């Protein structure tokens, strides 16, 4: 069972070397298998209020009830990833908050002083929004809209991790 909706269900990291990061997470920590996603899976991106496009690879895997995401940006387009990378380098980036109250939660976090930094949609059928909580919390909060299709995607990722034997550690979605 994945983390309950309206709670933190993901922790995300940024990297400069996806292959090395995946090797570390799978071999040292036993997290996997990871499933790769790329920029073609997301659309309608805005960064700090302006339309944007960027070239990223994201890798998702489960460890117990928690989703682990690793992200590498391949270009130098300004983004939530490049700004944190410039501040402190690779490492922790954000918590993913799975929500069925997407618009309400965006308003709630903005009223707490966390502006919208990055937003878009995944082609599977859900929205995401990064709220800039970096100064207060040391990382951003990603709101992940959680309709049934997105829930099924995450449940499939988690099912692959149950009793994973370490084989085929990196897979395409």
* pLDDT one-digit tens code per residue, 119-143: 999 988 899 999 999 999 999 999 9
Buried b / exposed e along 26-58 (16+ C-beta atoms within 10 A): beeeebbbbbbbebeebeebebeeeeeebebeb
24 φ/ψ angles, rounded to the nearest 5 degrees:
-60, -50
| pLDDT, average across residues 9-21 | 98
pLDDT band for 39, please (50, 70, 90 cuts): confident
What is each CA distance from 80 to 3, 32, 45, 149, in whole angstroms?
25, 25, 12, 26
What's the pLDDT at 172? 86
Mean pLDDT of the chain: 95
What's the pLDDT at 124? 85
What's the pLDDT at 4? 83
Domain ranges of the chain: 7-162
What's the pLDDT at 125? 86
What's the pLDDT at 164? 95
pLDDT band for 144, please (50, 70, 90 cuts): very high
Buried b / exposed e along 93-108 (16+ C-beta atoms within 10 A): bbbbbbbeebeebbee
Kindly compute the dihedral angle of the four CA atoms of residues 70, 76, 82, 88, in this order, to the nearest 10 degrees: 100
pLDDT band for 62, please (50, 70, 90 cuts): very high
Please choose, from the candidates 2, 141, 116, 4, the residue with its C-alpha nearest in 3D space to the C-alpha of residue 60: 2
- Checking if the pLDDT of 78 tops 90, the result is yes
What's the pLDDT at 115? 98
Percent of the chain with pLDDT over 70: 99
- pTM of the predicted model as reported, rounded to 2 decimal places: 0.95
Assign domain 7-162 one CATH number from 3.20.20.70, 1.10.486.10, 3.40.50.300, 3.10.180.10.
3.10.180.10
Please choose, from the candidates 145, 120, 141, the residue with its C-alpha nearest in 3D space to the C-alpha of residue 131: 141
SS3 29: coil
């Amino acid at each position: 069972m994945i983390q309950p909706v309206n709670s933190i269900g993901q922790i995300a990291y940024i990297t400069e070397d996806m292959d090395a990061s995946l090797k570390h997470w799978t071999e040292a920590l036993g997290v996997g298998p990871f499933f790769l996603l790329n920029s073609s899976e997301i659309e309608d991106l805005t960064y700090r209020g302006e339309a944007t496009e960027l070239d990223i690879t994201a890798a998702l895997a489960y460890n117990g009830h928690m989703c682990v995401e690793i992200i590498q940006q391949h270009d130098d387009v300004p983004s939530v990833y490049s700004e944190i990378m410039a501040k402190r380098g690779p490492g922790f980036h954000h918590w993913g908050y799975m929500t069925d109250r997407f618009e309400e939660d965006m308003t709630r976090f903005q009223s707490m002083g966390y502006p919208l930094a990055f937003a878009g949609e995944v082609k599977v059928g859900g929205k995401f929004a990064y709220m800039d909580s970096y100064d207060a919390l040391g990382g951003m909060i990603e709101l992940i809209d959680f309709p049934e299709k997105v829930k099924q995607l995450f449940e499939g990722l988690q099912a692959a991790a149950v009793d994973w034997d370490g084989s085929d550690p990196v897979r395409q979605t």
